Structure 1
């Protein structure tokens, strides 16, 4: 079940979309987007805050605070209901199609009567969009792709939301008398970027008390299947949860079986057959006598198959079993290896917290170093200036030494324009210690143009990291059309790192991209792209993505010592920074 902060964030984002659809109030739209981001990243449950403390959240003024209070009190907001009534529901549904923004959605409704995704598919089939301004061949191709992505991901939720539910469920069931062990399994344990359903595994001598507690969870809306050792429920948010209860002596085999993936398990069963064994969720058995050979622990089962334990994030049948047989599994990067975060924002641009709070949270997390990389001036809505940037640098210098060992780096997130150029002249860029360059606009350019602009950015001697390289956002925007292998080759050639953006709505690069980039010899930065102190914790998702891409600590630049990192940041021809 979504916590109140997430519910309020979703409501305010919807309201911002409704404002955008009408084509009026761009400033108001951005204000609600900012407030949504601030509330979503606020560490305190907003349901516990009074009006005064609500207004203390950055970006939450009196009007927005009143709406939040109204929602928490009544479950609805009159102003939102009025906007919903003014915009056909089908038009709002069109916003779920990645690449299709509010203005285009309203144009489709007004000009062609398109009020659903099915209507949009039919209009594309009949080539009726060609009649409209702004819907050229590339735009139509992007919309078709967006519909395909939407339908493919239907019913799936982001990893962070799934983990919230999984961890809450496990914590509650672990308290049940007689429950000896409890953990989540399946694609959540493998840390896949989106989740279809959640598998929970419990060990108990008597399954019924655990099953009864599971069915009685507050988040349960419907019991779909009821059994002695398996129960399936659907939550109030429509998410399916499956609970399996085994004996404790089968725990290891059960965790392997229910963690998956299916293809990984098939590989293990093939090995078992060759060893005249049989592997199931209950254990590893002698195929002839039925005698149990291993079951209690995962390590025990893998060892009996002649393998080291394989981390869940690798269990996708992408060569991990063969690598294990050769004793060549990578030493995977972990959160403990991360020494600092190299991409973050403050309220100087589109962050929601002041510099002092972001730095304090980085120190609380035990980082050795922390980079502040507010947006550069070409992202005009952020109103950045050179004077503001230099004043922030002085503020960072004043904060130096106030948080123990934490070293502060002054950076910038640059905008890559259609030609591959970035903000500010070379002499200004040389003042910064770290420069992240990202695509924030012109997503519609063709493959050749997108590839040229990213390669050109890599070749810039001042660019250290390419941020969120494909620009994707789950449910909002597909990635740009780009020859990634050409970009990976350019990064390796120029000594430019690629970001693994840890925000759960991005996770960009994805695991398959990381594997390909790794083959080119690319270095990576696992960054939070935090816009609030609480967002620094998103790093766990980026680390999981890096693990799924087989990355070791040495391949991730923010696991390095500050001395080694600074040598890397002194890109040939790029100056030494401040």
Structure 2
């Protein structure tokens, strides 16, 4: 089940979108949008806060607090339901298509009478959008691709939501009488960027209390399958959860089997067959006499197959078994290896918390160093100026020594323009400790143009990190098309790090591109891209993606001591 803050944030965002869709005041809609982001990113739980307490959250005024309090008390927001009643459900779905949004959805509905996604797809493909003001054939093509992206992610949960759901269910099952062990398995344990369902594995001699714990949860909406070894339910948010209970002595073999992947397990079974063994979820057995060889722990099962234990994130049949046989498995980066965060925002631009709060939260997380990287002026909606940025630098310097031994770095997130240029001239950029440069627009440029802009950014002596390099938003926007091999080579040649962005909506670079880039000797930065105090925990998801790409700690620049990191940053400008 989604965290209460996220539920309320989503409702406020929907209210903002519907205000725009119905022609409401744009300023009012933006205030609700800001409140939505602030509530979702709020570190504390909303439950138990009264209207006065709610107004202490940045961006939450009296009217917004009233709506939140109404939802906390009744489970409804009457004003939101009134707006929903005025708009066909299909139009609200259209609004969520990448590249559309509320204004275009309203225009298309008003001018063409389009009320469903299928009708919009037909209108885009038959040219009926081409003559609408502000649209045209190119926009129609983007809408078709946006629908395809949206449908490809339908029914899937992002990593953070799936992990939160799994943790809640596992805690309930673990508390049931007789439960000896409980953990999530499947693609979630392999930390894939999104999952179709959630697999929970438990160990007990009597499964009945454990199954009852799952089916009795408030988040369980429907029991799909019930039995002594497996129960499947659908949650109130539509996610399927499968709980399997095995005898404690079978735990290791069951974890191997139900973690997968299918291709990895096929390779393991092939090794077992060649050795005269049989591998299943019940254990590893002698194929001749049926004698059990191993089953209690994963390590025992892998060892009996002549292999070291393989981290779950690598179990995708991408050469991990061959690497294990050759003694070449990487020692994967851990979250505890990270010494700092190099990409974060404050309320000076589009962040939600003031500088002091972000610094205090970073210190509480134990960072040795921390970079503040608010947006530069080319993103005009952020209203950045030279004076504002210099004032922030002085404010940051005044904070030195107030947060223990944590060292503070002043940086910026530059915008990579369509020609590869960035916001400020060299003389101004030279004053920053670190510059992250990212693409925020012109996503539809062709392959050659996208490649050129990234190469030029890499060659800029003041660009240290390419932020969220592919620009993807999971389930909402595909990444840009570029010659990635050329980009990796340029990063390696110029000493430019590629970011593994920990935002669960991005996880960019993705695991396969990480693996390709590291073959070129590229360095990486695992960052939170935090826009609120609660987002600082995004590092967890960035580390998971980095591990899936095979990264070691030494390949990640923000695992290094500050002296080594500073030397890396200085070397770029030489």
Kindly tell me the number of residue pairs found equivalent between the two proteins. 574
Matches within 5 A, 1:373-522: 373-522=373-522
Is 2:34 the counterpart of 1:34? yes
Counterpart Cα distance in 1 of 2:458 and 2:86: 46
Counterpart Cα distance in 1 of 2:140 and 2:315: 37
Asked if the contact 1:139/1:444 (under 8 Å) is kept, the reply is no
SS at match of 1:500: strand
Counterpart of 2:16 in structure 1 is: 16
Counterpart of 1:230 in structure 2 is: 230
Counterpart Cα distance in 2 of 1:458 and 1:21: 40
Asked if the contact 2:525/2:557 (under 8 Å) is kept, the reply is yes
Counterpart of 2:176 in structure 1 is: 176
Counterpart of 1:202 in structure 2 is: 202
Counterpart of 1:342 in structure 2 is: 342
Counterpart of 2:538 in structure 1 is: 538
CA drift at 1:256: 0.5
Asked if the contact 1:138/1:444 (under 8 Å) is kept, the reply is no
Matches within 5 A, 1:25-424: 25-424=25-424
- Deviation string for 1:76-95 (max 9, x for gaps)? 22322233234332121013
Counterpart Cα distance in 1 of 2:20 and 2:558: 38
Q: Which moved more, 1:144-153 or 1:532-541?
A: 144-153
CA drift at 1:51: 1.1
SS at match of 2:542: helix
CA drift at 1:485: 2.5
CA drift at 1:167: 0.5
The alignment's C-alpha RMSD in Å is 1.6
CA drift at 1:219: 1.0
CA drift at 1:136: 4.1
Asked if the contact 1:99/1:478 (under 8 Å) is kept, the reply is no
- Deviation string for 1:142-199 (max 9, x for gaps)? 3222222222211001111111110111111111111111111011111111111011
Q: Which moved more, 1:480-489 or 1:342-351?
A: 480-489
Asked if the contact 1:223/1:233 (under 8 Å) is kept, the reply is yes
Asked if the contact 1:43/1:534 (under 8 Å) is kept, the reply is yes
Counterpart of 2:558 in structure 1 is: 558
Asked if the contact 1:462/1:571 (under 8 Å) is kept, the reply is no
Q: Which moved more, 1:111-120 or 1:427-436?
A: 111-120
SS at match of 2:471: coil
- Deviation string for 1:314-346 (max 9, x for gaps)? 011111111111111111001011000000011
- Deviation string for 1:197-237 (max 9, x for gaps)? 01111111111111111211121111110111110011111
Q: Which moved more, 1:40-49 or 1:429-438?
A: 40-49
Counterpart Cα distance in 2 of 1:454 and 1:7: 37
SS at match of 2:288: coil
Asked if the contact 2:283/2:293 (under 8 Å) is kept, the reply is yes
SS at match of 1:128: coil
CA drift at 1:459: 1.3
Counterpart Cα distance in 2 of 1:86 and 1:481: 39
Counterpart Cα distance in 2 of 1:76 and 1:445: 43
CA drift at 1:133: 4.4
SS at match of 1:358: helix
Q: Which moved more, 1:336-345 or 1:458-467?
A: 458-467
- Deviation string for 1:115-146 (max 9, x for gaps)? 22211222234333334344444433332222
Counterpart Cα distance in 2 of 1:166 and 1:226: 19
- Deviation string for 1:364-405 (max 9, x for gaps)? 111110000111112122222222211211121121112222
Asked if the contact 2:507/2:545 (under 8 Å) is kept, the reply is yes
Counterpart Cα distance in 2 of 1:280 and 1:127: 55
Q: Which moved more, 1:474-483 or 1:204-213?
A: 474-483
Asked if the contact 2:150/2:476 (under 8 Å) is kept, the reply is no
Counterpart Cα distance in 2 of 1:550 and 1:69: 46
Q: Which moved more, 1:268-277 or 1:123-132?
A: 123-132
User: CA 1:39/1:71 → structure 2, altered by over 3 Å: closer, same or farther?
Assistant: same
Asked if the contact 1:278/1:284 (under 8 Å) is kept, the reply is yes
TM, length-normalised to structure 2: 0.97
Structure 1 gap segments, 5+ residues each: none
Structure 2 gap segments, 5+ residues each: none
